[in-house]
């Protein structure tokens, strides 16, 4: 019972920090003005074009592909695998389990291996490539350790030391209705859940902010049309000094 | 030639092994009070400079979304580490874009993030100290704001934005760069970067009219401050007297002459470049940009056209409408502003001017895409027009054109090594080393296609290459203006 209460509290707190922290960060990005047009050109000249650009950036890591095929390979592998694994985990939160979640289940299982390979590749580069070693701080290594820990404990439960997964599901669906159901006390499960909760807490204060950040990046999300449409923003230096700037805004 | 070794030219771009701190000595002359005051900056470090700097950083984070997002988003993936020409040329790891950014990011994390406040070592957060400020001064003056790294960053992090912000912070505490700030002062006082007053400008232009008359027998005009002209031409002041820039200016004049379109230069806005961009000072950039609006209103022109100048074209194309617009008093049939290459290209397309390519048969030409034209602007209607249009103009003016290796042109182009406020003799070592990737690519086309000349559309590129070409065994006059090719090929008597 003690473990159940502890983990229930942990997940409530972690979820709150994750949602509030991330929400505040996103609100800050959205509120902060982008005073000038700075898309990295060639850039799309229409909104629709920007959606396509952002899509290739977020779904295919287009710029990274241009930059470095190894980082792209490992990074892409990790992120796609993570997405599949996360989606697969919906089965532990949703009742009944939607058909599409059932359908991706086998892919999700294998994706965990791809996730480990991707993370290991990225970590190897961080250790063995001199340039990347130079720019790494302890937190960069810890982040990889954390993610790898989550993946390996998950794999461990899938293939070696099974846990009572239906009890786990009852625990989490219960949490969502503010009911307490007992959580199995298998150590690997507890470690897995603890690491996940840690990741949620760290998220809004770390480089994991790249996930929302990319959508707000002016070099990627701005339309290249400064001559056609006058870009104005609410910043002191732009509106205060002179008269014409304030006159007409198309 | 100097107390450093010119790097050896390479077959392809080679990634060097790291040599820590080898460029930490490289720093431009620090500005003095007399150059700081006209820009509204303090003359020297005050006792509370740390507080001022940290507050300034906070203000910039609140007023520039790019800076805030870029400070947070970097995951240290390493994609940018081999993309900067200064890193490739110097081997100093602090010239890897992410390592340069981290000089500011460490301070950001220390004062503006929770983990940095409580676990600084863990996340690479650093206190702002005099030593950190020295590193800022050194390495944020080893970035030419060329944006090559931003092409490859998966989040579009643009080191140029971070360089500009840091220079702005340094100016706010009185540690400015002499070269840029002195020049901005001249623009405010006299009207252009070179401090060329109206009478001198007039003399120069009359001299050019005589030169062209002697050479061609035709009266090609170089009008100054002529009210009622159709077009205001704003061009870098280097075009008035530096080589090879001046041959480009002669080219513009011949194009206007041949097309029969009236134009004028302005002594009030006798400078296209806007060094406010380099120092990241929006206030100064706006003030400099306003001169162009004032000149256009005063002279009653219908169009504004910019001469060959890279960063100037960025400010003109991307910012002018924001900084000094709206330009609803100009002819709405033309974009505001236009690039001289767009103008000439259109005239060629419509057959209004005629070029005789054979007059450039003694030249085999390649084209250097200037960084800020390539990655911070556009020409024409379609994305990438900034690559197509200048090449179309060159190909219309000469028979022998050869591009350099694809990974060194277009959006991947390498900076000349002198952009972003670094075109000063106190940074000669940096400029020579930073030119290595471009020089290597040039050597390749010289060997493969017997290229004799590299054309460019940027005053900084032209000055920089005139200076560094000899270090690499080329001739200084192998760099030419695109409009010099036009100038030599244009058929003037067809219009007579």
Least-confidence region, from A215-229, B172-186, B191-205? B191-205
The first and second tokens of residue A44, run together, are 């799309």
Residue A246 has pLDDT above 60, yes or no: no
Domain that holds residue B135: 33-176
Total structural domains within chain B: 2
Mutate to test the interface with A, among B61, B159, B325 (most CBs of A within 10 A): B325
Contacts of A126 in chain B (CB under 8 A): 76, 78
Of B151, B176, B201, which residue is a domain's last? Answer: B176
Mean pLDDT estimate for chain B: 96
Three-state SS for B35?
A: helix
How many CA atoms within 13 Å lie on the side-chain side of B166?
A: 29
Nearest to A79 by CA among A126, A118, A110, A136: A118
Q: CA-to-CA distance for B473 and A179, rounded, in angstroms? A: 79
B-chain CB neighbours of A36 within 8 Å are 282, 318-319, 322
CB–CB of A240/A59 below 8 Å? no
> Does the beta-carbon distance from A45 to B62 stay under 8 Å?
no
Q: Across residues B464-486, what is the average pLDDT?
A: 97
Domain co-membership, B379 together with B478: yes
CA distance B253 to B251: 5
Cα A83 to chain center, whole Å? 9
If you average pLDDT over residues B293-306, what whole number do you get? 97
Pure H helices in chain A: 2-31, 47-60, 62-67, 69-88, 99-128, 130-135, 138-159, 165-176, 187-202, 210-216, 218-221, 236-239, 244-247
Helix (H) or strand (E) holding B366: strand B365-367
Question: Distance between CA atoms of B414 and B374, rounded to whole angstroms?
Answer: 10
Rounded Cα distance between B163 and B159, Å, is: 6
| Length reported for chain A | 250
Q: Specify the pTM.
A: 0.95
Taking the C-alpha atoms of residue B97 and residue B160, their distance in angstroms, rounded to an integer, is 9
> Mean pLDDT throughout A135-161?
96
Residue B401: DSSP 8-state = B
Query: Does residue B159 lie within any of the structural domains?
Result: yes
Asked whether residue B167 falls in the same domain as residue B223, the answer is no
Q: Which two tokens stand for residue A243?
A: 């008269």
Residue B373 near residue B386 (C-beta atoms within 8 A): yes
Q: Same structural domain for residues B226 and B201?
A: yes
Based on the fold, state whether residues B235 and B142 are members of the same structural domain: no
Domain boundary among B131, B152, B176: B176
Give A 72-91 residues with CB within 8 A of chain B: 75
Tens digit of each residue's pLDDT (9 = 90 or more) over B391-426: 999 999 999 999 999 999 999 999 999 999 999 999
Q: What is d(CA A92, CA A238) in angstroms, rounded to the nearest whole number?
A: 52
Contact in structure between B235 and B253 (CB atoms under 8 Å): no
- B316 burial via Cβ count (<10 Å: 0-12, 13-18, 19+): buried
CATH number of A2-247: 1.20.950.20
DSSP conformational letter for B123 = T
Residue B1 lies in a domain: no
Structure tokens at A11: 């997940």
In-domain check, residue B227: yes
CB within 8 Å: A34 and B147: no
Q: Does B335 touch chain A (CB under 8 A)?
A: yes
Kindly determine whether residue B383 and residue A33, on different chains, have CB atoms separated by under 8 Å: no
Nearest partner of B169 among B305, B251, B281, judged by Cα: B281
Distance from CA of B154 to the nearest CA of A (A): 5
Answer yes or no: is B66 within a domain. yes
Task: Give the pLDDT confidence of A166-213 residue by residue, as tens digits.
Answer: 999 999 999 999 999 999 999 999 999 999 999 999 999 999 999 999
The pLDDT value given to residue B298: 97
Residue B23 in domain: no
Interface contact B152-A42, CB threshold 8 A: no
Tell me the ipTM for this assembly: 0.94
**Is residue B475 located within the same domain as residue B332?**
yes
Domain locations along chain A: 2-247
Q: Rounded to an integer, what distance in angstroms lies between the CA atom of residue B158 and that of residue A199? A: 28
Round to whole Å and give the CA distance between A142 and A147: 9
Same domain? For B344 and B461 the reply is yes
Residues B197, B344 within the same domain: yes
B295 shares a domain with B377: yes
Q: What is the CATH number of the domain that holds B87?
A: 1.10.1060
Residue where a domain stops, chosen among B150, B176, B202: B176
3-state secondary structure of B410: helix
Residues B111 and B169 in one domain: yes
- B340 with B483, same domain: the answer is yes
Residues B372-385 pLDDT 10s: 999 999 999 999 99
């Amino acid at each position: 019972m003690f473990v159940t209460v502890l983990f229930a509290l942990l997940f409530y707190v972690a979820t709150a920090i994750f949602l509030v922290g991330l929400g505040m960060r996103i609100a800050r990005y959205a509120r902060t003005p982008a005073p000038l047009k700075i898309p990295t050109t060639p850039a799309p000249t229409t909104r629709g074009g920007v959606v396509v650009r952002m899509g290739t950036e977020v779904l295919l890591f287009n710029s990274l592909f241009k930059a470095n095929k190894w980082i792209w390979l490992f990074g892409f592998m990790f992120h796609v695998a993570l997405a599949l694994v996360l989606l697969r985990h919906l089965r532990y939160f949703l009742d009944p389990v939607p058909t599409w979640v059932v359908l991706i289940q086998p892919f999700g299982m294998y994706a965990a291996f791809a996730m480990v390979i991707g993370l290991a590749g990225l970590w190897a580069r961080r250790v063995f490539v001199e340039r990347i070693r130079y720019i790494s701080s302890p937190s960069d290594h810890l982040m990889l350790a954390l993610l790898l820990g989550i993946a390996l404990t998950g794999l461990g439960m899938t293939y070696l030391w099974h846990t009572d997964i239906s009890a786990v599901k009852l625990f989490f669906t219960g949490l969502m209705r503010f009911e307490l159901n007992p959580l199995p006390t298998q150590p690997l499960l507890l470690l897995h859940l603890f690491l996940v909760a840690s990741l949620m807490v760290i998220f809004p204060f770390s480089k994991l902010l790249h996930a929302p950040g990319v959508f707000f990046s002016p070099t990627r999300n701005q339309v290249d049309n400064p001559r056609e449409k006058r870009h104005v923003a609410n910043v002191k230096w732009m509106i205060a000094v002179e008269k014409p700037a304030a006159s007409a805004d198309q | 030639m100097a107390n450093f070794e010119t790097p050896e030219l390479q077959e392809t771009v080679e990634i060097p092994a790291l040599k820590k701190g080898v460029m930490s000595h490289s720093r431009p002359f620090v500005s003095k009070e007399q150059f700081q005051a006209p820009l509204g900056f303090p003359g020297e470090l005050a006792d509370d400079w740390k507080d001022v700097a940290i507050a300034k950083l906070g203000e910039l984070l609140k007023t520039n979304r790019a800076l805030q997002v870029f400070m947070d988003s970097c995951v240290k993936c390493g994609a940018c580490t081999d993309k900067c020409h200064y890193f490739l040329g110097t081997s100093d790891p602090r010239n890897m874009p992410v390592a340069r950014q981290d000089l500011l990011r460490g301070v950001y994390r220390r004062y503006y993030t929770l983990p940095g406040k409580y676990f600084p070592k863990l996340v690479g957060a650093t206190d702002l100290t005099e030593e950190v400020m020295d590193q800022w001064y050194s390495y944020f003056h080893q970035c030419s704001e060329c944006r090559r790294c931003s092409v490859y960053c998966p989040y579009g992090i643009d080191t140029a934005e971070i360089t500009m912000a840091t220079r702005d912070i340094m100016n706010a505490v009185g540690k400015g760069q002499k070269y840029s700030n002195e020049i901005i002062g001249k623009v405010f006082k006299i009207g252009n970067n070179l401090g060329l007053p109206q009478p001198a400008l007039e003399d120069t232009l009359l001299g050019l009219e005589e030169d062209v008359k002697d050479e061609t027998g035709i009266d090609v005009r170089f009008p100054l401050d002529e009210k009622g002209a159709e077009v205001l031409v704003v061009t870098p002041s280097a075009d008035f007297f530096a080589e090879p820039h001046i041959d480009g200016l002669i080219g513009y004049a011949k194009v206007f002459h041949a097309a029969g379109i009236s134009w004028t230069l302005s002594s009030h806005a006798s400078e296209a470049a806007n060094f406010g961009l380099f120092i990241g000072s929006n206030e100064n950039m706006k003030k400099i940009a306003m001169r162009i609006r004032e000149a256009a209103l005063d002279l009653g022109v219908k169009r504004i056209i910019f001469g060959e100048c890279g960063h100037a074209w960025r400010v003109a194309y991307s910012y002018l409408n924001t900084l000094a617009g709206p330009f609803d008093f100009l002819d709405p049939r033309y974009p505001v502003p236009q690039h001289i290459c767009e103008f000439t290209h259109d005239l060629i397309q419509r057959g209004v001017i005629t070029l005789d390519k054979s007059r450039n048969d003694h030249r085999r030409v390649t084209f250097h895409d200037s960084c800020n034209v390539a990655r911070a602007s556009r020409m024409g209607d379609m994305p990438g027009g900034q690559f197509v249009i200048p090449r179309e103009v060159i190909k219309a003016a000469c028979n022998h054109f050869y591009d350099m290796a694809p990974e060194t042109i277009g959006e991947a182009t390498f900076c000349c090594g002198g952009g972003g406020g670094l075109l000063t003799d106190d940074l000669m070592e940096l400029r020579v080393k930073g030119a290595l990737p471009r020089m290597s690519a040039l050597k390749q086309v010289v060997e493969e296609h017997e290229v004799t000349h590299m054309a460019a559309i940027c005053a900084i590129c032209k000055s920089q290459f005139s200076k560094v070409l000899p270090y690499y065994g080329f001739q200084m006059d192998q760099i030419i203006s695109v409009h010099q090719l036009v100038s030599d090929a244009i058929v003037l008597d067809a219009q007579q």
